[in-house]
Amino acid sequence: MKPLQMVDTKTQYQKIKKEVDAAVLAVMESSQFIGGKEVSEFADSLAKYNGSRYVIPCANGTDALQIALMALGLKAGDEIITPSFTYIATVEVAALLGIKPIFVEVDKKTFCIDPAVIEKAITPKTKAIVPVHLYGHAANMEAIMHLSEKHNLFVIEDNAQAIGNDYTFSNGNIKKTGSIGHIGCTSFYPSKNLGAFGDGGAIFTDDDNLAQKMRMIASHGQSKRYYHDVVGCNSRLDAMQAAILNIKLTHLDEYIAARIKAADYYDKAFAGNKKIDTPYRDNNNKHVFHQYTIILHDTNRDELHQFLADRGVPSMIYYPVPAHRQKMFDAFGGNKYQLPDTDWLTERVISLPIHTELEEEQQQLIVSQVLEFVNR
């Protein structure tokens, strides 16, 4: 049996090695390392895949979020409403621009921002809602878009963990996550569902004006070469990553199917166990299982983590400290928040290995070790 890992990017690479190696070599031969046809081809293919009019490739998912906030004209003193139960990048970029993140609770079932608490958090300074499709499950976008219209707020989707998720509205319309809000952001960090062989990111929008602005901001605020109209940054997806992503994008749906299959296996194996809540899947979306995260009851989570590690079974805590409790946010009054559901989750979640190369015998072992600890 192959050793257990949280992700197995190596085996995944070996399966497409011929194509990938040829594509990388072609970039080296052409020596066009920045921009060029790989990058524009990838942007076009991804736009088509995601049902978005525009895709602006950039250097990473964190930059994507920052560029989105800048393009919407958010300034120091403005507020965004965002979950605290998320990866830090979502809120860090706001703080970097002097924008105040207003942290709200997540829905304990979906791990995503709870629309029911958003409205109470709106103030005259609120400019945007930033939902995160955590672990690959979509936030309740129908309710969020409704609030956005009602209160005239922008919506920036953090789609770094959910690329490929199909979200179904109550009228039957289906849209990919990342194409629903005014702007969607994603990351091609190697372990993400669509991972590069290094850093990468992209921004989605249907809006001409925003697309043009974001392209400018990602390129030193240039409208044409050496004419800089606005303050921007330098955020590019390089040609080699684009060449690799062009190939991996054609496999994304099968990668997602493999993740869902692995999740189904875990679900079945843990079904009925009172100490384990398997991940909830709302039938309004297709959970793409960037993570397989369970909630433990009457079980010492950290002891389980250690027990598994001692037996060669990796597991991770995403995330051990919610954003509002990070020291970084002391200056933003983070420590004044009362988010009991977020704290509750932070103490009870554990993520098990899930990736495209996971084999049934590996899952059997993981499950048996988890159950041995939980049932004793």
Ligand X SMILES: *Cc1c(COP(=O)(O)O)cnc(C)c1O
- Does residue 132 belong to the site contacting ligand X (CB under 6 A)? yes
Whole-angstrom distance, CA of residue 329 vs CA of residue 336: 10
Shorter beta-carbon distance to ligand X: residue 159 or 278 = 159
Exactly one of 12, 52, 84, 90 binds ligand X (CB under 6 A); which one? 90
| Helices and strands counted in the chain (H then E) | 12, 14
Burial 268-294 (b: 16+ CB within 10 A, else e): ebbeeeebbbbbebbebbbbbbbbbbb
Exactly one of 42, 167, 189, 373 binds ligand X (CB under 6 A); which one? 189
Q: Which of residues 200-229 bind ligand X (CB under 6 A)?
A: 201
* DSSP label of 266: H
Exactly one of 12, 84, 177, 187 binds ligand X (CB under 6 A); which one? 187
Whole-angstrom distance, CA of residue 361 vs CA of residue 363: 5
- Does residue 62 belong to the site contacting ligand X (CB under 6 A)? yes
- Does residue 242 belong to the site contacting ligand X (CB under 6 A)? no
Among 60-68, 94-102, 226-234, 263-271, the segment contacting ligand X (CB under 6 A): 60-68
- Nearest-approach distance from CB 59 to ligand X, in angstroms: 8
The answer to whether 155 touches 148, Cβ cutoff 8 Å, is: yes
- Does residue 161 belong to the site contacting ligand X (CB under 6 A)? yes
Exactly one of 23, 69, 70, 89 binds ligand X (CB under 6 A); which one? 89
Sheet containing strand 100-104, edge to edge, reads 54-58, 201-205, 183-187, 154-158, 126-129, 79-83, 100-104
Whole-angstrom distance, CA of residue 14 vs CA of residue 116: 45
Q: For CA atoms 216, 200, 24, 162, give the dihedral sign.
A: negative
- Nearest-approach distance from CB 256 to ligand X, in angstroms: 16
Exactly one of 78, 79, 158, 357 binds ligand X (CB under 6 A); which one? 158
Exactly one of 87, 103, 265, 307 binds ligand X (CB under 6 A); which one? 87
- Nearest-approach distance from CB 275 to ligand X, in angstroms: 27
Chain-centre distance of CA 141, in angstroms? 15
- Does residue 60 belong to the site contacting ligand X (CB under 6 A)? yes
Q: Total residues contacting ligand X (rule CB under 6 A)?
A: 15
> Which residue lies nearest ligand X, judged by its C-beta?
61
Classify strands 183-187 and 154-158 as parallel, antiparallel or unpaired.
Answer: parallel
Write out the residues near ligand X by the rule CB under 6 A.
60-62, 86-87, 89-90, 132, 158, 160-161, 187, 189, 199, 201
